[in-house]
Amino acid sequence: MPSEGTAAPTRQLWRPTPLSALELTSIPTELHFVRDHFPVPAGDPASWSLELTGRSRSVALDLEALRTLPQRTLSVVLECAGHRRAEFEPIPPGVPWATGAVAEARWAGPSLATALELAAIPIPIDAREVVLEGADAGPVEGADGAHRFARSLPLAKALDPDVLLAHEMNGDAIPVERGGPVRAVVPGWYATDSVKWLARIWFTNKEFDGFFQAQDYRYHLPGEPGPGGRMTELPVNALITTPADGGRALAGNDVWLRGTAWGGSGGIAEVLVRVDHGPWSTTRLGPVRGPYARVSWEARCTLAAGPHEIACRALDRAGHAQPERPPRNTRGYANNAIHRINLLAA
The domain ranges of the chain are: 9-230, 237-345
Which distant-in-sequence residues (6+ apart) come within 8 Å of 124 by Cβ? 54, 55, 203, 205
* Dist CA 196 CA 294 (whole Å): 22
Q: What is the CATH number of domain 9-230?
A: 3.90.420.10
Amino acid 159: pLDDT: 97
d(CA 22, CA 342): 19
Q: How far is CA 83 from CA 35, 103, 295, in A?
A: 11, 11, 18
Q: What is the predicted pLDDT for the residue at 92?
A: 96
215 neighbors 143 (Cβ within 8 angstroms)? yes
Long-range contacts of 64-69 (CB under 8 A, 24+ apart): 66/109, 66/110, 66/115, 66/165, 66/167, 66/182, 67/167, 69/110, 69/114, 69/115, 69/118
* The pLDDT of residue 55: 84
Angle CA 326–327–330, to nearest 5 = 105
- The whole-number pLDDT of residue 12 equals 45
Q: Note the pLDDT of residue 1.
A: 35
Closest CA to 3 of 87, 95, 89: 95
Q: Return the pLDDT at 142.
A: 77
* Cα-to-chain-centroid distance, residue 331: 16
Question: Is 27:177 a contact under the CB 8 Å cutoff?
Answer: no
- Record the pTM: 0.94
Give the CATH fold of the 237-345 domain: Immunoglobulin-like (2.60.40)
Phi and psi, residue 228, nearest 5°: 100, 180
State residue 60's pLDDT score. Answer: 96
Dihedral of alpha carbons 112, 72, 99, 177, sign: positive
| pLDDT tens sequence for the chain (346 residues) | 334 443 333 334 899 999 999 999 999 999 999 999 999 998 888 899 999 999 889 999 999 999 999 999 999 999 999 999 999 999 999 999 999 999 999 999 999 999 999 999 999 999 999 999 999 999 988 788 889 999 999 999 999 999 999 999 999 999 999 999 999 999 999 999 999 999 999 999 999 999 999 999 999 999 999 999 999 999 999 999 999 999 999 999 999 999 999 999 999 999 999 999 999 999 999 999 999 999 999 999 999 999 999 999 999 999 999 999 999 999 999 999 999 999 999 9
Distance between CA atoms of 34 and 100, rounded to whole angstroms? 10
